Amino acid sequence: MARTILIVSGKGGVGKTTTAINLASALHSMGKEVLLVDSSISTPDVGIHLGAPVIPVSFHHVLAGRARAKDAVYMHSSGLKVLPGSISLQEMKRAKPEGMKRVIDSLRRSSDFIIIDSTAGFGKETLHAIESASEMIIITNPELPSVTNALKAVKIAESMGKAVTGVIVTRKSGDKSEMLLDDIEEMLETRILGVVPEDSKVKEAAAAKDILVRSHSRSKAARAYKELAAKLLGREYRGYKEEIGRRGKGFFSRLLGKLRIKK
């Protein structure tokens, strides 16, 4: 049965999707069976990040009762399995977030990890995503507004009886104005799992629709994500030689059907 880990933040734009994609990919490259799910109903962006913004069957179709979960799971060309959302407004209106837990539970048998990306804020869709996961990783930047929203996520997790595996501080540049890691840890009363530095390679990979840990695998941010993945596996990262899989770029193929979607 898969560990289902929700990537959540409260504040938008802090690096949730970047983290979800790269952690999922790093775990996959370490030999794990991984499914990446985009749980955002209103602003799904995993497909956009991976270069496949429009797909015929999505999580939205499944949540609207118009498709089976396994028919909305695609294989990214790196070998990572992805359940993306639809960017269509009509599909957004049709999807019923109440069904999220049931759908995600139905997919737990076929993977070691289900990494779930979420939307900003704590609206209905995020609460259903929290309900669907067995644990949460909270993303924050080293700034007070971001940490304040992360604290909200910690409190919601407590009130819903969900385990918080830890906090990831992303986009740390070392600027004097940033909050100190000790202060973040103290404010959130939660351990910091890892720190991802501000790294121009993240934007380079995103612009090319590449997955950073594959395309820029020796960058500082990629290394941080690989160390985090190893930590989730309960061990040290032993270097890039242990990684398997293809670099992968540009399209999904339907896992169970014959369809291949090019960019």
Ligand X SMILES: Nc1ncnc2c1ncn2[C@@H]1O[C@H](COP(=O)(O)OP(=O)(O)OP(=O)(O)O)[C@@H](O)[C@H]1O
First to last CA, the chain: 33
**Which CB, 67 or 208, lies closer to ligand X?**
208
CB 201 within 8 A of CB 195: no
Neighbours of 62 (CB within 10 A): 25
DSSP 94-105: H--GGGHHHHHH
Q: How far is the CB of 231 from ligand X (least distance, A)?
A: 17
Burial of 187 (0-12, 13-18, 19+ CB in 10 A): middle
Chain centroid offset of residue 123 CA: 18
Strand, coil or helix: 36: strand
Of 9-17, 157-165, 230-238, 245-253: span binding ligand X (CB under 6 A): 9-17
CA torsion through residues 40, 116, 48, 256, sign? negative
149: contact with Mg ion by CB under 5 A? no
Residue nearest to Mg ion as judged by C-beta position: 17
Pick from 2, 6, 10, 15 the residue near ligand X by CB under 6 A: 15
| DSSP annotation of 42 | S
Q: Which residues contact 208 (CB under 8 A, 6 or more apart)?
A: 215, 249
Of 32-71, binders to ligand X (CB under 6 A) are 45
Residues 196-215 touching ligand X, rule: CB under 6 A, are: 196, 198-199, 202-203, 206
12 binds ligand X per the rule CB under 6 A: yes
Q: Which option in ligand X, Mg ion, none does residue 146 bind, with CB closer than 5 to 8 A by kind? A: none
- State which of residues 6, 7, 45, 103 lies at the interface with Mg ion (CB under 5 A): 45
Q: How big is the site for Mg ion, counted in residues (CB under 5 A)?
A: 3
Residue bearing tokens 């590449």? 210
**Among 43-51, 131-139, 223-231, 235-243, the segment contacting Mg ion (CB under 5 A):** 43-51
17 binds Mg ion (CB under 5 A): yes
The span of 8-16, 30-38, 75-83, 99-107 binding ligand X (CB under 6 A) equals 8-16
Report the residue number, 57 or 221, with the smaller CB distance to ligand X: 221
Across the strands, what pairs with 194?
A: 168
Residues that bind Mg ion (CB under 5 A): 16-17, 45
Contacts with ligand X by CB under 6 A lie at: 9, 12-18, 45, 120, 170-171, 196, 198-199, 202-203, 206, 221
